Amino acid sequence: MFNKRHTVLCVDDEKNILNSLKRLLRKESYRLVTASGGAEGLEKLAAEEISLVVSDHRMPKMSGTEFLHKVKDQYPDVIRIILTGYTEIDSITESINRGHIYKFLLKPWNDQNLILEIRQALDQYDLIKANKELHYEVIKKNEALERVNENLEMLVKERIKDFEVQNQALELSRTILEGLTLPVIGISNEGMIVLLNKTAQSLPGKLKGISLGSKAEKFFPDDLTEMIKKVLSSQTYKEIIGYGLSKKKYDIDFIPLSGLFRGKGIIVTFRKSC
């Protein structure tokens, strides 16, 4: 099955040859145009899209090989066939080797062979064009993939930078927390100790020896444990003034977490009472 968009150009200085080709190929599905010489053939090529050129070799002013050489340079995708006699084969061998000519056919030609050769040449044209389109499509997709990779690389770099900043901020926060003289204890909504600074580890009484990962109720007195539960349940700040821990008085703040961590836990701080 041939595409009707195909146009075949036949070039010959003899009108009877062109008429013979018109009669022979008139029932083929492609469009046929003719030219009486190389110069006119180049004009036809410049005027419209042509898939295949069939040219006589022996022509005045411009031989078939010269003409097809120019076609190759100016229209490299066009398939090129030359018609030649037995005595002219040697003179076109170099053009064949250099790729200026796709195929040569001997005169006088066999009608069925010529029809078949043209059909096969047009199939070759379609295959070459399809391969080029596929090649260009692959190039486009590769370029798009490169852009995606570049964007991804940039995004990864930005994420890494963000993580580095966050890690630095987290490390700074930990350093500040450790350096506070105010005891600070973080408790999750499951009642587990998840944050503890150095000063909090020196609290007296039952809180002495408190450690990360332990249950708060193991170290906090019962009344403070109940207060922790109330704050976790109500999400409301509470304060106890002058609470006694082993002969020392503390003002204790129960601060529920807010924002993204609302409901996830509380912070308990201990301030020595005046």
At 33, which CATH number? Answer: 3.40.50.2300
153 in a structural domain: no
Structural domain ending residue among the three candidates 108, 136, 164? 136
Structural domain ending residue among the three candidates 105, 136, 167? 136
Q: Which residue range is the domain that position 208 belongs to?
A: 180-272
Are residues 58 and 113 located together in one domain of the fold?
yes
pTM confidence score: 0.54
Q: Rounded distance, CA 214 to CA 40, Å?
A: 96
Are residues 120 and 212 located together in one domain of the fold?
no
CATH number at residue 256: 3.30.450.20
Are residues 129 and 188 located together in one domain of the fold?
no
- Contact between 237 and 253 (Cβ < 8 Å): yes
Structural domain ending residue among the three candidates 77, 110, 136? 136
Q: Measured on CA atoms in the order 223, 225, 229, 234, is the torsion positive or negative?
A: positive
Q: What is the DSSP string of 235-268?
A: ---EEEEEEEETTEEEEEEEEE--GGGTTSEEEE
Number of domains in the chain: 2
Helices (H) and strands (E) in the chain, counts: 7, 10
pLDDT in tens, the chain (274 residues): 445 579 999 999 999 999 999 999 999 999 999 999 999 999 999 999 999 999 998 899 898 889 999 999 999 999 999 988 766 676 677 667 666 788 888 888 899 999 999 999 999 999 988 898 898 888 888 888 888 888 888 888 888 888 888 888 888 878 888 888 899 999 999 999 999 999 998 899 889 889 999 999 999 999 999 999 999 999 999 999 999 988 889 999 999 999 888 999 999 999 988 7
- Contact between 102 and 69 (Cβ < 8 Å): no
